[in-house]
Chain A
């Protein structure tokens, strides 16, 4: 089955700096890659997603890039703010999987003042 690895497990940046979180997937049939933000005690919130026919997608300070050849995708957050502090999860679903999501292990992002 699909396996998603996520790095780093923790990331600390200064306010205003950029943050990058990387994920790799195992199933070459994977075609949909969402990112979720989960604050302590709250629901995972979909922040951006990308499909396999697109190499990059941007939404204000957040961008996601996809390299299908290398089977990895990354989340980029620019001009980080304290409210960006949370756990971020990448996920993947594959053709034939009927939208079943396999999640990474999460990255604890801390934005320091």
Chain B
């Protein structure tokens, strides 16, 4: 049973550039959430995709955008990169998006470094 997979594992960019991160959810899951984890801190919610639409969004600027494909995989795009965007970007998948509390399973993340 394949878990959540993310690519790439590491990425180095310079300020002002754009980046795309990818995520494939756990088999059987249809919802993908993205989180940013700065060093020494807890993950912070960026947004969530279900049925190819953004359903929830955290306190992140419009430079952060995403997409979900018909096979439930997802992309996170960040434009005009800033030094402060350096972090571990985590993808989590779950089944459904109701308010009952659905267990979310995380991938290994993409370590993004901005120079």
Contact = CB atoms under 8 A, between A and B. Distances in A.
Nearest to A95: B99
Give the size range of A's interface with the partner.
20 to 34
B42 A89 contact: yes
B104 A98 contact: no
B43 A103 contact: yes
A97 interface: yes
Given A44-B90, A89-B42, A98 B99 contact: yes
**Interface SS of chain B: helix, strand, loop or mixed?**
loop
Interface in A98-112: 98-106
B33 A100 contact: yes
B102 to A, nearest CB: 5
Contacts of A105: 41-42
A46 interface: yes
* Chain B: number of interface residues, binned into ranges: 20 to 34
A105 to B, nearest CB: 5
A14 interface: no
Given A31-B99, A46-B106, A100-B58, 9 more contacts: A34-B101, A43-B107, A46-B105, A93-B99, A98-B48, A98-B98, A99-B56, A101-B33, A106-B41
Interface of B: 4, 31, 33, 35, 40-45, 48, 50, 55-56, 58, 90, 92, 94, 96-109
